[in-house]
Amino acid sequence: MLTSLLAATTTVDALTFAIAAAVVLSGSVGVVVARNPVHSALMLVMTLFGVAVLFVEQQANFLAAVQVIVYAGAIVVLFLFVIMFLGVDREESLEKEPLRAQRPLAAGLIVLGLAGLLLMGFGAHWSVGAKSVAGPSRNQAGGDVAALGKSVFTTYLFAFEITSALLVIAVVGAVVLARRPGGVLGGADSDPDEPADDAPSPTEEVSP
């Protein structure tokens, strides 16, 4: 099976995939096991770059660029900003686990799920219906950028418009959530360390 899968593959492609897969796997394991949230965020950047390489490898050049710009450039920076803003960039002890059965249970569940996924992926014969609902992706004039743009602005135009509404709602929601209960938008005159009147005193609540 391995030789048939590797047939008709150039060495460069296989090597690129191997390196990118190693980067992606080590990065994603690093996100989970890093004790410091900042290290987790940096490992996430590594994973995202690896996935971008895999996108380029599959002729999705535009998506690779967007992946680097939006994910690594915007989302991870937002994560780091919130980590620094909240000051939670402390080391977290991973040895202490309050619920005794959680880790074995989680590992068992994940192994079961992964086995099911891989069995489905390697064993099943997919019946995938009509091909090219939104047009072919290979050998287009203008490459994948033109093909993607055409499909987004014709076939998926409605979804694209709804997306803009979603972004506006997300921005409004973030502003509403970030408001202080008193009403002013975190103004310089209000003391950020002082909770609002109706809030319970946090130091008493969280102390064990």
Using CB under 8 A, which residues numbered 83 to 122 contact other proteins? Answer: 83, 85-86, 88, 92, 98, 102-103, 106-107, 109-111, 113-114, 117-118, 121-122
The full length of the chain comes to 208
The shares of helix, strand and coil residues in the chain, as percent rounded to the nearest 5, are 65, 0, 35
- If one asks whether residue 163 binds other proteins (CB under 8 A), the answer comes out as yes
Q: How far is the CB of 74 from other proteins (least distance, A)?
A: 7
- If one asks whether residue 82 binds other proteins (CB under 8 A), the answer comes out as yes
Near other proteins by CB under 8 A: residue from 59, 68, 143, 190: 59
Q: Which residues contact 102 (CB under 8 A, 6 or more apart)?
A: none
Using the minimum distance from each CB to other proteins, give the nearer residue, 98 or 183: 98
Near other proteins by CB under 8 A: residue from 73, 124, 125, 133: 133
- If one asks whether residue 190 binds other proteins (CB under 8 A), the answer comes out as no
Near other proteins by CB under 8 A: residue from 170, 182, 185, 187: 170
- If one asks whether residue 156 binds other proteins (CB under 8 A), the answer comes out as yes
Best CA proximity match to 76, nearest among 44, 49, 52, 50: 44
Give one DSSP letter per residue of 22-79, joined into a string.
Answer: HHHHHHHHHHHH-SSHHHHHHHHHHHHHHHHHHHHHTT-HHHHHHIIIIIIIIIHHHH
DSSP letter (8 states) at residue 166: H
- If one asks whether residue 143 binds other proteins (CB under 8 A), the answer comes out as no
